[in-house]
């Protein structure tokens, strides 16, 4: 992870990198009075990149954003919550284009420099009068104060309980470069080569292809390693914008500080991904599953995601039940090479299985550990050099409650 290369800026947010402004308001898409539309704007056209959901039914805003990103530049992102604008046909597509056009007009930027993102219920048309009112109100409220960032962060949430933000700084040839991110998650969370709604800003000067490659690499080990419920949304997107206002020598893979920048960038992704997992619908805790000794990193990833996604493992963690049998059963059904005789499992520091044999452990200590707000499961396969970590959450009564009546 390259810790030490970057430093966390306490209280930092997506408007901390030079050149960014943000804001959010309530326009009427949510039934409550919480913010439901927000904008990030850059002073200048920013170098930008994105990764998208692999779901076959991609929502209309993703199509529009793909178009905007064809030249690798963006100057603004407009995002609404409360309605996903997915499976909404021609009208949904027209609405997404209209959102982009209106945002561009009111912000005074080029249409093809605006990205659009939506999250919420699938299959209902956007209330465009609400959206228009929100877009009209927003430009006057964009700012670079903590409150502006707070307004934006609130505007992208749905069933999320807490906002997810992180900001770090990295030295790049003596210049302070800032990297920040904001995300929303909660349900339908099982990113696959893409992620939830997540927005990253940086003031780094960086080549667009380098940003795109870095984003994909960072995503593979962070956002793509979380799961709340195994369901991949139609709307997942991660967008990063680089204002270039930090005046560093242009970053690419050959820059001497590339590794430091990449470590900081990846750390921002990881913090957001963990925050999404911890705030999964109904979750009471973060579950981290590390797999070591797999035949490859890819194999370790598959196993870690299988374990962290197992409903039985998730229920046991909720109940603080040290039921490692479910962990090994999940390892065994991942379809990856294992040696059935050589598996170790630890819950935190408590060893429960060694060389595939049960260990007598202190059940009381295990109970105390499993009642904490973060549960770490370590699986060592002793079968190779591959390793990976995945994040998820417990499965609770509240997950069922929330999802048994989401629309109603």
Q: Show which residues are catalytic.
A: 195
Please tell me whether residue 357 binds a copy of itself under the rule CB under 8 A. Answer: yes
CB of residue 401 vs a copy of itself: minimum separation in angstroms?
A: 7
Q: Does 319 bind a copy of itself (CB under 8 A)?
A: yes
Q: Which residues have CB under 8 Å from 302's CB, separation 6+? A: 334, 335, 336
158 marked among binding-site residues = yes
329 contributes a contact to a copy of itself by CB under 8 A = yes
CA dihedral sign of residues 271, 273, 279, 282: negative
* CA distance linking residue 174 with residue 381, whole number of Å: 43
Based on the shown chain and the rule CB under 8 A, indicate whether residue 372 belongs to the binding site for a copy of itself: no
Asked if 230 is part of the footprint of a copy of itself (rule: CB under 8 A), the reply reads yes
In the complex, least distance from residue 231 CB atom to a copy of itself, rounded to whole angstroms: 5
- Does residue 47 bind a copy of itself (CB under 8 A)? no
Residue 5: count of CB within 10 angstroms of its CB: 17
Q: Name the minimum Å distance from CB 104 to a copy of itself.
A: 27
User: Is 219 a known ligand-binding residue?
Assistant: no
CB 239 within 8 A of CB 50: yes
Does residue 403 have a known ligand-binding role? Answer: yes
- 3-state secondary structure (DSSP) of residue 362: coil
Residues 382-401 binding a copy of itself (CB under 8 A) are 395-397, 399-401
Regarding 378 and contact with a copy of itself (CB under 8 A), the answer is: no
What letters, b where the CB count within 10 A reaches 16 and e where it falls short, cover 299-310? bbbbbbbbbbbb
List the beta bridge partners of residue 106. Answer: none
Residue from 330, 350, 375, 377 that binds a copy of itself (CB under 8 A)? 330
253 is an annotated ligand-binding site residue: no
Number of residues that bind a copy of itself (CB under 8 A): 65
In Å, what is the CA distance from 276 to each residue of 182, 198, 310, 341, 402? 10, 10, 17, 35, 16
Applying CB under 8 A, among 1, 44, 54, 362 the residue interacting with a copy of itself is: 54
**CA triplet 46, 50, 51: central angle to 5 degrees?**
170
Query: Which letter, b or e, does each residue of 312-341 get, where b requires 16 or more Cβ atoms within 10 Å of its Cβ?
Result: ebbbbbbebebbbebbbebbeebebebeee
DSSP state of 141: G
CB 168 within 8 A of CB 14: no
Tell me the CA distances in angstroms from 73 to 42, 49, 110, 130, 208, one per residue in order. Answer: 11, 8, 11, 28, 8
- Residue from 333, 362, 368, 385 that binds a copy of itself (CB under 8 A)? 333
Residue 30 labelled as part of a binding site: no
Strands 73-83 and 197-202: unpaired
Task: Report, in Å, the least distance between residue 351 CB and a copy of itself.
Answer: 13
Cα 59 from chain centroid?
18
Q: Which of 208, 296, 323, 351 binds a copy of itself (CB under 8 A)?
A: 323
Q: Which is nearer to a copy of itself, 42 or 338 (CB)?
A: 338
Say whether 202 counts as a known binding-site residue.
no
Nearest alpha carbon to residue 20 among 42, 47, 49: 42
84 vs 121: CA distance, rounded Å: 5
Q: Select 174 or 357, whichever has its Cβ closest to a copy of itself.
A: 357
Smallest distance from a copy of itself to CB 220, Å: 17
Please report whether residue 332 would count as binding a copy of itself according to CB under 8 A. Answer: yes
**Backbone conformation region of residue 252, classed left if phi is above 0, alpha if psi is from -120 to 50, else beta:** beta
Footprint of a copy of itself on 97-136 (CB under 8 A): 121-124
Q: Is 302 in the site for a copy of itself (CB under 8 A)?
A: no
Which of 54-62, 143-151, 161-169, 196-204 is the region at the interface with a copy of itself (rule: CB under 8 A)?
Answer: 54-62
What is the binding site for a copy of itself (CB under 8 A)? 54-58, 84, 86-89, 121-124, 187-188, 190, 192, 229-234, 309-312, 315-316, 318-319, 321-326, 328-333, 335, 338, 340, 343, 353, 356-358, 395-397, 399-408
Binding-site positions for substrate read 158, 184, 195, 281, 403, 408
């Amino acid at each position: 992870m390259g810790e030490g290369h970057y430093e966390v800026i306490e209280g930092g947010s997506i408007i901390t990198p030079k050149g960014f402004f943000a804001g959010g308001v309530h326009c009427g898409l949510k039934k409550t009075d919480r913010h439901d539309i927000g904008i990030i704007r850059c002073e200048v056209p920013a170098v930008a990149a994105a990764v998208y959901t692999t779901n076959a039914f991609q929502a209309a805003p993703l199509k529009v954003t793909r178009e905007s990103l064809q030249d690798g530049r963006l100057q603004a992102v407009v995002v609404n919550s409360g309605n996903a604008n997915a499976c909404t046909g021609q009208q949904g597509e027209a609405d997404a284009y209209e959102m982009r056009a209106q945002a561009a007009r009111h912000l005074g930027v080029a249409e093809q420099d605006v990205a659009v993102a939506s999250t919420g219920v699938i299959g209902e048309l956007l209330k465009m009068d609400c959206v228009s009112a929100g877009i009209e109100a927003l430009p006057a409220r964009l700012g670079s104060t903590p409150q502006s960032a707070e307004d934006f962060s609130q505007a992208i949430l749905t069933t999320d309980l807490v906002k997810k933000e992180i900001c770090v700084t990295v030295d790049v040839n003596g210049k302070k470069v800032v990297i920040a991110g904001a995300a929303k998650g909660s349900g339908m969370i099982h990113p696959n080569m893409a992620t939830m709604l997540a927005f990253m800003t940086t003031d780094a000067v960086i080549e667009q292809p380098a940003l795109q490659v870095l984003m994909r690499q960072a995503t593979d080990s962070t956002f793509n390693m979380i799961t709340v419920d195994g369901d991949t949304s139609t709307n997942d997107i991660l967008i990063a914008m680089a204002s270039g206002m930090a005046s560093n020598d242009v970053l690419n893979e050959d820059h001497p500080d590339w590794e430091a920048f990449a470590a900081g960038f990846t750390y921002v992704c990881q913090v957001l991904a963990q925050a999404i997992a911890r705030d999964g619908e109904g979750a009471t805790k973060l579950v981290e599953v590390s797999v070591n000794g797999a035949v490859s990193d890819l194999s370790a990833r598959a196993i870690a995601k299988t374990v962290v996604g197992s409903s039985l493992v998730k229920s046991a963690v909720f109940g603080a039940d040290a039921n490692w049998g479910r962990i090994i059963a999940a390892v065994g059904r991942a379809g990856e090479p294992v040696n059935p005789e050589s598996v170790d499992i630890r819950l935190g520091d408590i060893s429960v299985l060694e060389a595939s044999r049960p260990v007598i452990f202190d059940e009381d200590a295990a109970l105390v550990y499993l009642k904490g707000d973060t549960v770490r499961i370590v699986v060592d396969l002793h079968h190779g050099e591959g390793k990976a970590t995945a994040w998820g959450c417990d499965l609770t009564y509240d997950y069922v409650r929330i999802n048994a009546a989401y629309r109603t």
